[in-house]
Copies of this chain bind each other. A is one copy, B any other.
Amino acid sequence: MLSKNKIKFFNSLKLRKFRIKHNLFLAEGEKLVFNLLQSEIKPKYILTTSKELIPTEKYYNFEVFELTVSDIKKISQLKTPPSVIGIFEIPDYKINFAEIENSLSIYCDDIQNPGNLGTIIRTADWFGIGTVFCSENTVDVYNSKTIQASMGSIASVKIHYINKSYFFSSLNNKIPVYGTFLKGDNIYNAKLSKSGIIIIGNEGKGISEDLNSYITNRLFIPDFNTKIKSAESLNASVAAAVVCSEFKRRK
């Protein structure tokens, strides 16, 4: 049985300000919680309709509460309340610049839609991109919609929120920085390196102007519409996927 105060506390984590205050976030569903339990991210509490669902050998580093379905419903943000909800510490990964210089990473430049950010993380995971950087104005990755859209990939992909100019100046021009625009080199013919940063621009505004000086390669995804076209661009997560696919297939 969970006290009203605890339920209130867990519920408060739906809001960003309380996630920041307590440095905790909610993860819903067996698959996601078990993926996270196997990652570097530290669990604090597990809420479940049945303790039998949770492997006992793992108990040592978190507290388990058995809840009624009706209490789980009070905390869950899903249409169908899950049998397991985890409360995890927001990780504070150290950036390994040596590793960044030798791999492909994504930089999200003010992505606003939680679903897009989650989908970008899921896509990065699929294509073996281990790090996604986010500008300070990118939507919070620990909100429910983003976590759901990432389909567990926040357990495999390291997310860093980092100031734009600090990040790009720290790279010291050591690796290429790719941006996707409506004009540039046709991505299908462009030379693409094995390591570098791929910037994904904001849904409405694209890549912010203050990043122009850091971009070494301007790419575009050509449109193939020979008739009347209404789409002026691709969705941000779709553009990210096309770019990742193109970088990776050439390896």
Interface residues of A (CB under 8 A from B): 35, 38-39, 115, 119, 122-123, 125-128, 130, 149, 151-156, 188, 221, 223-235, 237-238, 241-242, 245-246, 248-249, 251
Contact = CB atoms under 8 A, between A and B. Distances in A.
B38 A228 contact: yes
A93 B229 CA distance: 18
Grouping DSSP codes into helix (H, G, I), strand (E, B) and loop, the A interface class, with mixed when no group exceeds half, is loop
A234 B122 contact: yes
A39 B242 CA distance: 28
Given A235-B237, A241-B241, A245-B246, A229 B149 contact: no
Contact of A241 (B128, B223, B226, B242): B242
A226 B251 CA distance: 13
A69 to B, nearest CB: 22
A38 B228 CA distance: 10
Nearest to A113: B115
A125 B251 contact: no
